[in-house]
Amino acid sequence: MSRPKITVVILLLYIAVIHPATLQQVEKLLVEKKFTELDSLLPDLKRQFPDHPTVLYLTGVLQTDADLAFYYYHKVANMPQSAFADDAVFRMAQYYYAKQNYKLSRQYFMLVPEHFPGSPLTDDALYMICQNYLALGKFDSAQVFFKAFIEKAPRSSFVDLAVMDLDFIEGLQLENESKSAVPLGIRHYCIQVGAFANKENARNLLSSLDLDVETEIVEKVVDGKKLYIALVGKFQTSAMAKDFAERILEKTIQDYRIVQRIKI
């Protein structure tokens, strides 16, 4: 009767010792980004550990379907014991950034420093929060966040980029200030609904709004960097522009700003 007991003991030792070592190896390969090797291991890992956060995270990383990858990252993000929970949240934020949902992207990036203090992704997340404000055309907010980022993380690898972005914003502000000296009779006001590095994205946004008012895409170039600013309407006063935005745009565009332009 002793032989079955020995078998059980050996089996328990295998589960307790060998399996954790296997997962540790997977985590090491993930850190080293050896995805080809991991891809070959995934089917067996899913059979052995279908609900383990590391396996769920790996499944998301190796997904070619962004929506399905998001599903797995969401599961991992709700498992704080996972070594990759912060990375899962970061990837969810990147998903929304790629979808140009900058409001949700910003909210998810904010979760990294809030819920994972000390995460190596903190600087990346803080910089991307700034980028979301910039993409939304909220230049005043972007300026505040870029300055705070440069002050808080002076040794970050993103500081040089943040300084360039700050120079870009300040260049836009100087340009707007110079236009304020133009006589009132030849000025108008527009609603800025987005700012994009890709002109096609600006076109797509304006097309999706399907408005019966004039729209325009304006190029802004500062220090060699170009943005395409999507503008809606030409109004005589800022109050008229704001009224239109509140009545017509707020159903689809939550973040916008009123800008001054010279009439053509």
| Per-domain boundaries in the chain | 183-262
Q: What is the pLDDT of residues 86-108, one digit of tens each?
A: 999 999 999 998 888 989 999 99
143 vs 165: CA distance, rounded Å: 9
Are 222 and 171 contacting, i.e. CB atoms less than 8 angstroms apart?
yes
Q: What would the mean pLDDT of 234-248 be, rounded to a whole number? A: 77
Side chain identity, residue 91: R
Q: What is the pLDDT of residues 149-165, one digit of tens each?
A: 888 888 888 888 888 88
Torsion of CA 35, 38, 39, 40, to 10 degrees: 140
Both structure tokens of 43: 């089917």
Q: What is the pLDDT of residues 35-71, one digit of tens each?
A: 888 888 888 888 888 899 989 999 998 888 889 999 9
pTM of the model: 0.58
Q: How many CB atoms lie within 10 A of CB 227?
A: 21
Q: How many CB atoms lie within 10 A of CB 177?
A: 9
Q: What is the pLDDT of residues 120-147, one digit of tens each?
A: 999 989 988 988 888 888 888 888 888 8
In 3D, which of 156, 99, 76, 145 has the Cα closest to residue 123?
156
Are 179 and 187 contacting, i.e. CB atoms less than 8 angstroms apart?
yes
Question: Which residue do the tokens 């009767």 mark?
Answer: 1
Q: Could you confirm whether domain 183-262 is CATH 3.40.50.300?
A: no
Torsion of CA 150, 165, 172, 170, to 10 degrees: 20
Q: Is the pLDDT of residue 74 over 80?
A: yes
Task: Show the beta-strand stretches assigned E in the chain.
Answer: 187-196, 215-222, 225-235, 257-262
Q: What are the residues whose beta carbons fall under 8 Å from the beta carbon of 191, sequence distance 6 or more?
A: 231, 232, 233, 241, 244, 245, 249, 256, 257, 258, 259
* Beta-sheet strand order (sheet of 225-235): 215-222, 225-235, 187-196, 257-262
Q: Taking CA 18 as the corner, what is the angle to CA 13 and CA 19, rounded to the nearest 5 degrees? A: 105
Q: Taking CA 46 as the corner, what is the angle to CA 81 and CA 49, rounded to the nearest 5 degrees? A: 45
